Amino acid sequence: MRPTNSIKIEFESRSVNEGFARSAIAAFAAQLDPTIDELCDIKTAVSEAVTNCVVHAYPDRLGKVYISAAIYPDRRLVMKIRDVGCGISDVAKAMEPLFTTGADDERSGLGFSVMQSLTDRVRVRSKIGGPTTVTLEKKLSSKGEKDGSL
């Protein structure tokens, strides 16, 4: 199935750009007329993925964060958040709740769990010393599902 619309953006891995990413994806998703809850879920999931890039992919330097998003005819929103940082050595372990590679005790290790709870599907591909791509999928409700006419 081909997307009906798509975008690509890139920005530096500065924590202040996390808000930009949330807003950009929310603006793109708005064409599907999502519910407030759906929009909040999307923004939070993207925020968690971007924060992972800022904190973990580039722990001691700035790098680039790339986001692409596509809308499909079945009202599915697919978002890919990618970095070319240090990579994840054990993706399965990294996706376990409370696991963190953060150097301080302030990180909760719940980023992937939050993403999984707010989207329909989360996939992570990573290579040590190379790129990591987090793919988030969320199918948005139809107009009839929102107003109860279905």
Whose tokens are 């909040």? That residue is 40
DSSP string, 65-94: EEEEEEE-TTSEEEEEEEE-SS--S-HHHH
Give the active site residues. Answer: 48, 52, 107
The candidate with the shortest Cα–Cα distance to 52, out of 9, 93, 88, is: 88
Burial label for 149, CB within 10 Å (0-12, 13-18, 19+), is exposed
Q: Edge to edge, what strands does the sheet with 132-139 contain?
A: 5-12, 64-71, 76-83, 132-139, 121-126
Is 115:49 a contact under the CB 8 Å cutoff?
A: yes
Dihedral, CA atoms, 97, 136, 20, 53, nearest 10 degrees?
50
